[in-house]
Amino acid sequence: MYHINRSRRHFLQTSGALALGSTLPISLVELAFADEKQNFTFAYISDAHIQQIKGNRFVRNWDRGLIRAVAEANLLTPKPDFVMFGGDLAQLGSAPELDHGAEILSALKYKTRYVMGEHDYYLDLGAYWEKLFGPQYYSFDHKGVHFIVLNSIRTYDDWTYHRWPTAEQRMLEMAGLDNPNSSPFMVGEEQRQWLKKDLAKIPKTTPIVVFSHSPLQKIYKGWNFWTEDAEQIQALLKPFNKVSVIYGHVHQIQYNQIGNISFNSVMATAWPWPYPQAYAQAEQYLPKLTVPMNRSDPFFERDATGWQFINVANGHVDLNYLLPENTDRSVGFDKAAKKPVDAVYQSEGARIPPQSHF
């Protein structure tokens, strides 16, 4: 059911000693078309959550995840054409955190582009981010593919501008995981109008890849796995033959198909998102559309962080997830089902039980 094309097999063979023997907190994305000369790859790193302790001291675990991703991206064969960073470089959006993250990313040997996350935005509404990395939303073309980068983590003006006594308080409120004081993410009218104009120039047969931080769909509002104007964004993308949305934020494996749009998440370099069973504040049910990752130990901070090889063949996204101390996962577009399908999904009874912790 899941075809591995020649170039992807070549990648896995030539990088097998690196990739299969370790866990890479990055994603390698291959865009494959009928003309092999147009095939290319790009790496995807996301959700580093660099957190300052004091002065030049930062949380070491989050540093190490990003440093490792950068080092291993530089060793990839074949070399990616560029790198995308998927958002949440910082934890609390401060200049020291963003500077420290930017310094680590500066070691990449490739052109690097950036998506903004809510942890990067809500302290100063992206002002310092723009000085470091450029505009909050933009588009570019590469070898026949139209790429769109959106800032999908804005919210209602009343929440942003009128509710909190300080910018620091606003940042802390939006940074909370299971926080009733946060507000739903959205792309917003300004960007929707820009997106409409941007897409008007693109032939409907052109493959479209959209990068956002939030999912551009409505999954689980309690954790802000949610984009308030998702349907409006989807409507703008509906006329195109093949659209892929690649997003971060959720720190877990997710996939979905809505009409012509395939949705796929990428992993985080910082930590895996806790499932409700392991998180005391959350109710005991899984977010809609989330597929459990068959995690061997949900209390282990690196369990389920990892990387995935993403193959976009004829406009559809297939993913190979490599997970630490666990069975690898493959999610591929099933032409018969017309949606992404897990190649070997394990029932609850077949999963490795979590360890006991006290």
Listed by start position, the domains of the chain span: 6-355
220, 290 Cβ separation under 8 angstroms: yes
Residue 349, pLDDT above cutoff 80: no
Quote the pLDDT of residue 304: 56
265, 272 Cβ separation under 8 angstroms: no
For residue 317, what pLDDT band results from cuts at 50, 70 and 90?
Answer: low
Distances in whole angstroms, Cα of residue 7 to Cα of each of 32, 36, 79, 144: 9, 9, 12, 18
Residue 93, pLDDT above cutoff 50: yes
Distance from C-alpha of 200 to C-alpha of 192, rounded to nearest angstrom: 12
Q: Which residue has the higher pLDDT, 355 or 159?
A: 159
Distance from C-alpha of 316 to C-alpha of 277, rounded to nearest angstrom: 33
Residue 157, pLDDT above cutoff 90: yes
Q: Which residue has the higher pLDDT, 167 or 313?
A: 167
Distance from C-alpha of 327 to C-alpha of 78, rounded to nearest angstrom: 25
pTM of the complete model: 0.83
Quote the pLDDT of residue 132: 97
Distance from C-alpha of 191 to C-alpha of 235, rounded to nearest angstrom: 14
Quote the pLDDT of residue 268: 87
Residue 358, pLDDT above cutoff 60: no
Quote the pLDDT of residue 197: 98
Residue 12, pLDDT above cutoff 50: no
Residue 156, pLDDT above cutoff 50: yes
Quote the pLDDT of residue 48: 92
* Cα end-to-end span (Å), the chain: 43
**3-class DSSP state for residue 198?**
helix
* Average pLDDT of span 104-125: 97
Q: 6-355 architecture in CATH?
A: 4-Layer Sandwich (3.60)
Distance from C-alpha of 151 to C-alpha of 62, rounded to nearest angstrom: 23
Dihedral class, residue 134 (left if φ above 0, else alpha if ψ from -120 to 50, else beta): left
